[in-house]
Structure 1
Amino acid sequence: MHNLTPNEERHAESLEEIRSSPFLQADCGSSEHLGAALEELSPLRRYNDEWADVELDQNFLGCALRFTDLGAQWRTSRKKLPRIQGEFNLLNLHDVLNQREGPAATVPDASESQLRFLSELRFFDHTPRSGSGRLTYVRLRPGVAPLEIWYSAVADIGSDPYPPGFIRMDITYCQYLDALLLTKGTYGWQYLYTDVPLGRGDFRETVGYLEGMLELFPEIFPQYDYTPLRDRLEARR
């Protein structure tokens, strides 16, 4: 690998941590292939006329990744370990912006305002290896900085006026990438950055994954500080 930004180096190293861990069984992508330079993203009207006044600020561009196949699906590999699993797959921003439509087709009977909201979403993280339908979106809306991050899953989340199944994360794009270094895509980690009460019975499996992550990962990835995630989980019980 060469000519990586500092943040790209961190994520390439994180992918290798998953791949090389004796505690995880993983199907990993690659950090070897880079897409086009991020400077070529502007102006956004090249991708969609409605994004003419949407700005990607310097913080956003400074932390963005050029990889074209950065992702992994994994699970713990030993019987005595917590039974946890996860997945992520980060899209190159060119691929994000080249998506022709938002997720409107997934929401039947959406209102006009909900359709407008859905038209502003483009996913940048998803779960293609498992097909589990978890997606994270950036909302491309003019005059908003930093851009909003939204999560969608097959779960009873979200509330009016937004469509069911979508919930805003209390996190920026750059903070999302930072959190992914810690969580490695553990299923449900995104809920730690929402207002969903995880004490609900239908989140029992998700809480199990998160508790297992916070038990195991400080041991196998001691270079990371998991205290903030532990505090977030306790605050949402």
Structure 2
Amino acid sequence: MADLTVNEKRHAAVLAAIQRSPFLDATCGSCDELGEPLEELLPLYEHNEDWDEVRLDGDLGSCALRFMDLGAQWSTTGGLPEILGEYRILHFYDVFDQLEGPEPLDDATEFQRQFLAELRHFDMTPRSGAGMMSFIRMQPNVSPLEIWFHDVADIGGEPYPPGYLRMDITYCQYLDALLLTKGTYGWQYLYTDVRLSDAGFHLARTYLTRMLEVFPELFPEHDYAPLRARLEERL
């Protein structure tokens, strides 16, 4: 394998830990194939002329991953309480190569149509079809670029389209959080303004509570105290 950056080594190690854990039944991607570094995909207007005024966050160059197939779908096994998870982080080439954002509803407002046109997904759940996706908003003259989470659940509200929540997190921080959560379903809610005590979040609340009970034992090299604090703040 070619020389990896510090952040790539961290993510490769987590994927390997998922693969070898006797307590996770996992289908994993691979860290074998690397694409171009982010710097070689610039300037942005060569991908989309509307992005001429979009500025990438300064730390993206050091945290962006070159892996072409980074991800895993997994479930707990070995007598552990059920927890499900999945992630699939796209190479930035595949992010920039998206010609348009999500399809707006027929009754979408002009604001909602413009908002959706600025979104490009970078994390998703393709193996399970769970319908969860995370987006980077390619918005002119905004720093840091916004990160949004989409779920099939009844979340979000005006003036934004239904199903979308802004995350209180940057792209690089998102990747850092993924090292801890391994894509546990609903982990993104820990970085949004929601009340996980509401009935509609029962399943996400269950998975997150179990994750914070089980993962410190399975992956003791990580500190789960910050995530535990975030969960408590939202209950």
Q: TM-score, normalised by structure 2?
A: 0.98
1:53 aligns with 53
1:168 aligns with 166
1:33-52 CA-partner distances (Å, limit 9, x unpaired) = 11112211211001111001
Segments of structure 1 that go 5 or more residues without pairing to the other structure are: none
User: How far is the alpha carbon of 1:61 from its aligned partner?
Assistant: 1.9
Segments of structure 2 that go 5 or more residues without pairing to the other structure are: none
Q: Within 5 Å, which residues of 2 pair with 1:76-91? A: 76-79=76-79, 81-91=80-90
1:101 aligns with 100
Which letter maps to 1:43? Answer: P
Structure-2 separation of matches of 1:181 and 1:162: 29
1:236 aligns with 234
User: How far is the alpha carbon of 1:2 from its aligned partner?
Assistant: 2.2
1:73 aligns with 73
1:218 aligned to which of 197, 216, 219: 216
User: How far is the alpha carbon of 1:23 from its aligned partner?
Assistant: 0.5
Matched residue SS, 1:129: coil
Which letter maps to 1:93? Answer: F
Which letter maps to 2:96? Answer: L
User: How far is the alpha carbon of 1:108 from its aligned partner?
Assistant: 3.4
CA RMSD in angstroms comes to 0.8
1:179-214 CA-partner distances (Å, limit 9, x unpaired) = 000000000000000001101111111111001100
Does residue 10 of the first structure (1) align with residue 14 of the second (2)? no
Runs (4 or more) in structure 1 with deviation over 4 Å come to none
2:201 aligns with 203
Structure-2 separation of matches of 1:108 and 1:31: 40
Structure-1 separation of matches of 2:200 and 2:58: 39
User: How far is the alpha carbon of 1:103 from its aligned partner?
Assistant: 0.4
1:130-149 CA-partner distances (Å, limit 9, x unpaired) = 01110000000111111000
1:180 aligns with 178
Q: What is the aligned residue count? A: 235
Matched residue SS, 1:15: helix
Q: Within 5 Å, which residues of 2 pair with 1:127-142? A: 127-142=125-140
Q: Within 5 Å, which residues of 2 pair with 1:145-160? A: 145-160=143-158
Q: TM-score, normalised by structure 1?
A: 0.97
Structure-2 separation of matches of 1:76 and 1:6: 28
Which letter maps to 1:88? Answer: Y
User: How far is the alpha carbon of 1:4 from its aligned partner?
Assistant: 0.8
Matched residue SS, 1:104: coil
User: How far is the alpha carbon of 1:58 from its aligned partner?
Assistant: 2.5
**What's the % identity of the aligned pairs?**
60
Structure-2 separation of matches of 1:37 and 1:173: 16
Matched residue SS, 1:73: strand
User: How far is the alpha carbon of 1:55 from its aligned partner?
Assistant: 1.2
Matched residue SS, 2:115: helix
Structure-2 separation of matches of 1:36 and 1:219: 36
